[in-house]
Chains A and B, each alone.
Chain A
Amino acid sequence: MPAYLDHAATTPMWPAAVDAMLPYFSERYGNASGSHAVAREAKKALEESRDLVAECLGAQPGEIVFTGGGTEADNLAILGRHELQPGEVVCSAIEHHAVLHAAGEVCAAPRVASVTSGGVVDLDVLVDLVDSGVSLVSVMLSNNEIGTIQPLDAIRKIMAERAPQAVLHTDAVQAFPWLDVASLARPAELVAVSAHKFGGPKGVGALVVREGVKIAPIVHGGGQERGRRSGTYNVAGVVGMAAAMQATVADRAATVARVGALRDRLADGLLQAIPDSSETGDRSSKIAGNCHLSFGGIESESLLMLLDAAGVYAAAGSACQSGAIEPSHVVTAVGLSDARALGSLRLSLGVTTTDDDVDLALSVIPPAVARLREPL
């Protein structure tokens, strides 16, 4: 049985979420924006889902904007907010490209706050970047590559003192399976999530837009979502997302404990078995599912190919449009040298990860690294 250790890329769906979606493909296919009975049935499902999503995110139903995924939610937050309140944008050095590139679109030179070698935003650096010229600060709740959790409370305090006019956006896409986003993201006015990271379907996400915060739409059309995001509703997708959120939250504490232990066994096992290996980022500041290591003297491209052939599915860096692996800006930001950054490996565990997966990884990875270090 192969070991899928790339849950940060995407996750298998909760069976309950799949079941919840099915009726909305063939029987309850209505366009939720219509007025007749068929439409109303779809609309009801949409609004019930909205209530569930709001509760899971610690928000009011009116604060939920459904989108086509996490990237769109991040774009809506940054582009949509900036249009109404132009100004400087501050983001961390380890944001996802959706945030970095969107920030680059609205702002000639986004102010980038460096992170510590532990992978956490350096508050001493951030303080100097936040001033009265700033309209938006964007810091992800947890990072997709190294899993480190960012101190949104402390960031909010800095903003309250130095840029009270500014709005805080957080990309909580990776955080939702592992953290109580409802409370941890409370300091943020704009919170982005993506269904397929927590056992929901791909192509659907949400942005929390707190009451009183205005954003301009980036998708124009029929005016759905109170003018914030037009387009016919992906009712099945939203229903699936809500069901997945519910299932995730119900099991979250137990999952974190169980998967955290699996991750520790995996990480410690590999660090012990492989010479010249190190863990990226401070484990005590990470979500339970992330195991990110770097190995001297190899490059991840070849390692991933060997692992793939042996049924261990993992990732490293980020894939560019062509599929080639690029060195990660996150790993570089944490202070790894270019050479070391090229030898990175991200193993991300999830709800469905078992001891067998960890056993396979422990048996395959050390020999693969050794093989790549052998002189030809």
Chain B
Amino acid sequence: MKILAAMSGGVDSSVAAALLIEQGHEVVGVTLKLWGGASDSGCCSVADVEDARRVAQQLGIDHWVLNFVDEFEAAVVTPYAEAHAAGRTPNPCIECNRHFKFGHLLERARKLGFDAVATGHHARVALTPSGRHRLRRGTDRAKDQSYVLHMLTQAELSRCLFPVGEITKAEVRARAMALGLRTADKAESQDVCFVTASDGRKAFLEPRIALHAGSVVDRAGVTVGRVEAVELVTVGQRRGLGAGGGADKRFAVSVDTSAATVTVGSLDDLLTDTVELGQMSWIDAPLIAPAGVEAQCSAHGRPVAARYEGDIVRFAERQRRVAPGQSVVLFDGNDVIGGGTAIEADRSRR
């Protein structure tokens, strides 16, 4: 097959490309230029592009850099800022995969005559006897990234390859070292590719959205403190809430940007047995409620027993509230069934 291998400059995508070459495929490496601003890591910084290019040279394949800066800004960066302005906690990596990366990359690959696109994600695609595609956790459970891929469609899955999903991270590094790849012991990229660790979210958002100071109130509505920027507060956070000491630890239980108010409560107040989901996507046929599932609420969170009840998911045991904007992915064992985005739980106010 002719495969377009997306190479971020990290060790996973480097080895993914290497595995495909070993398997006899015709591989061309590409790095996506998504962001023209400051970046520490992956996808975007010039140092990472140079690493990807060097690895391509070492593997003996062609390498191109594709400029998607405008599309990325529109599809990922702007919605990220807007979500914060609305008091949600978006996961831009999920939105990037949903609205941008796979769509654009697959389209470009088709235009250029490639059969498939490959990435360095730790995940697996399996084919059922009836020809449907399944998205499965990667072999290395601790590194599994199926959570961020849960929104891929059957059409997309049929043209995606995740070579390192079949091996462990340790094996990835071992292979990279054996090949003498420059990226063999490169640190993993953390965080959002367009927000630097040094400046952080605040510096990124400040020029883009209005940040409003707000009140911190308790469940009874009594003001107990102030925050500098309501838009930067995430449900579940404990620090930086301007709440003084005291016996009870205070957690952000909900954020209302229109009222510039953060409601805090105790850990118990933060626990809930439901999450309401919107923007549901299904790997194959939609699940029919009610159904038992395992729900994973963060990229490396432990999946928990739950019941899918239609627009809400009910956990077997109370969990920390899922921040609106975060994804909840439903699993059947190691297979991804589908997922959705947590939306404002207005029930608590009724």
Contact = CB atoms under 8 A, between A and B. Distances in A.
Contact of A376 (B31, B46, B64, B107): B107
A325 interface: yes
Interface in B67-100: 67, 69
A305 interface: yes
A252 to B, nearest CB: 36
A322 B110 contact: no
Interface in B212-258: none
A301 B49 contact: no
Contacts of B49: 322-323
A322 B65 contact: yes
A97 interface: no
A376 B67 contact: no
A302 B64 CA distance: 10
Interface residues of A, number: 15
A306 interface: yes
B46 A322 contact: yes
B66 interface: yes
Contact of A302 (B33, B50, B62, B108): B108
A195 to B, nearest CB: 26
A323 B33 CA distance: 9
Contact of B112 (A305, A320, A322, A324): A305
Contacts of A323: 31, 49, 53, 64-65
Given A305-B112, A306-B112, A322 B66 contact: no
A337 interface: no
Nearest to B33: A324
Given A301-B67, A326-B67, A321 B108 contact: no
A61 to B, nearest CB: 41
B111 A372 contact: yes
Given A324-B65, A324-B66, A302 B31 contact: no
Contact of B111 (A302, A322, A324): A302
A371 interface: yes
Contacts of A306: 112-113
B64 A321 contact: no
A308 to B, nearest CB: 8
A24 B148 CA distance: 59
Contact of A325 (B31, B67, B107): B67
Interface in A317-360: 320-326
A326 B113 CA distance: 23
A247 B144 CA distance: 62
A324 B67 contact: yes
Interface string A299-310: 001100110100
Nearest to B32: A324
A301 B107 CA distance: 14
Q: Which of B31, B33, B107, B111 counts the most A-chain CB atoms under 10 A from its CB?
A: B111
B44 to A, nearest CB: 8
Contacts of A320: 33
Contacts of B64: 301, 305, 323
A311 to B, nearest CB: 13
A305 B30 CA distance: 11
Contacts of B108: 302
A301 B67 CA distance: 8
Most buried by B among A305, A320, A325, A326: A305
B110 to A, nearest CB: 6
Contacts of B67: 301, 324-326
B335 to A, nearest CB: 29
Nearest to A322: B49
A302 B107 CA distance: 11
Contacts of B110: 376
B65 A302 contact: no
A323 B50 CA distance: 9
Contacts of B111: 302, 371-372, 376
Nearest to A325: B67
Contacts of B46: 321-322
A322 B107 contact: no
A371 B110 CA distance: 11
Nearest to A373: B111
Nearest to A326: B67
Contacts of A372: 111
Contacts of A321: 46
Given A321-B46, A322-B31, A302 B53 contact: no
Interface in A25-46: none
A372 B108 CA distance: 10
A302 B4 CA distance: 13
A302 B108 CA distance: 8
Contacts of A326: 67
Interface in B100-115: 107-108, 110-113
Interface of B: 31, 33, 46, 49-50, 53, 62, 64-67, 69, 107-108, 110-113
14 contacts: A302-B108, A302-B111, A302-B112, A306-B113, A321-B46, A322-B31, A322-B33, A322-B49, A322-B50, A322-B65, A323-B64, A324-B69, A371-B111, A376-B110
Given A320-B33, A323-B31, A323-B49, 8 more contacts: A301-B66, A302-B111, A306-B112, A306-B113, A322-B50, A323-B64, A323-B65, A376-B110
